[in-house]
Structure 1
Amino acid sequence: MHTTEIEVETGGREVVHDLTDACHRFLTGLNGGAGAPDGLLHVWVPHATAGLAIIETGAGSDDDLLAALRELLPADGRWRHRHGSPGHGRDHVLPALVPPYASIPVVSGELALGTWQSVCLVDTNVDNRVRKVRFSFLAG
């Protein structure tokens, strides 16, 4: 298995950050630069307040996802988990709805994503400005 970890600066705002290019760079760099064969790319976010989604970006879907999460998980005083910024408890519930992992088939060195699909980090935690993302490739 090949693995690496990157850092993503999300800043102090809610964000859907496209990781697709970073996935491609990781796969291209495998096997001494010869690229990845067929296999499985696993993407993991080792945080209790972030997740990964495979969605369309750039056409408003990323903003719609954040709006839906604000509606489902409002940043208010209802949460028992109360440290951090107001409503931070919702960020700890996020990974139950947007899991901290995604697995994507790799065929002939390329992600087997649909035409409009992107691999995205979803982060609603305004208290944590830098996230780690781990890529692991298992050849088939």
Structure 2
Amino acid sequence: MSIINKLIEIETEPKINIYNITPQIQNFITSTSIKNGQVLVFSQHTTTALSINENEVRLLEDIKVFLQKLAPESDSYLHNDLHLRDVPEDEPINAHSHLMAMMLTTSEIIPIVDGKLALGTWQSVLFFELDGPRQRTVFVQISGE
């Protein structure tokens, strides 16, 4: 069994944004000799997340609104009391982003069959930026034969 790793770099836009990273993952799989196995996709940040869902514009907007209702940026959070914490000068006020990320997940495992992601018809791998703009990294690990 082979194991191959790659990083996907994403330059994100301000606030909450959702990116379809399915093509980058499939291109990585295609660049390897692995035909059957699985791929682990892992977000390396505490204010980002991953999900498998439909990549439809109006649904993505609904998801953003839903997340903002769960953890409104305007609410009061202890994490935002920067004067009470030892933080860098550029530390953002982002407790709401951490809370949104907790409602999602940081990783997904997807089967690889015949060199392709075994996703359903309407499924895509979505990367959630919850505190942009930032430079983000998604770790991808393929294992199989």
- TM-score normalised by the chain length of structure 1: 0.88
Asked if 1:136 corresponds to 2:141, the answer is yes
Q: 1:63 aligns with which of 42, 61, 64?
A: 61
Deviations 1:38-96 (A, max 9, x none): 1111000100110001110124221111111001111024211115445x101112232
Which stretches in structure 1 are left out of the alignment for 5+ residues? Answer: none
Q: What aligned pairs does 1:73-84 form with structure 2 within 5 A after superposition?
A: 73-82=71-80, 83=82, 84=91
Q: CA offset at residue 13 of structure 1?
A: 2.8
Contact 2:101 2:130 in 1 (8 A): no
Structure 1 ranges of 4+ moved more than 6 A: none
Partner of 1:99: 105
Cα distance in 1, alignment partners of residues 56 and 99 from structure 2? 26
Contact map agreement 1:55 1:61 (CA 8 A) in 2: no
> Between the two proteins, what is the percent identity of the paired residues?
27
User: Relative to total residues, which structure has the larger strand share, 1 or 2?
Assistant: 2
- Read off the aligned partner of 2:105 and give its amino acid letter: P
Matched residue, 1:6: 8
- Are the equivalent residues in 2 in contact too, given 1:10–1:123 (CA < 8 A)? yes
Structure with larger Rg = 2
Find the aligned partners of 2:4 and 2:101 in 1 and give their Cα distance: 25
- Count of residues in Structure 1 that have an aligned counterpart in Structure 2: 134
**Aligned AA (1:131):** R
**RMSD value, Cα:** 1.5
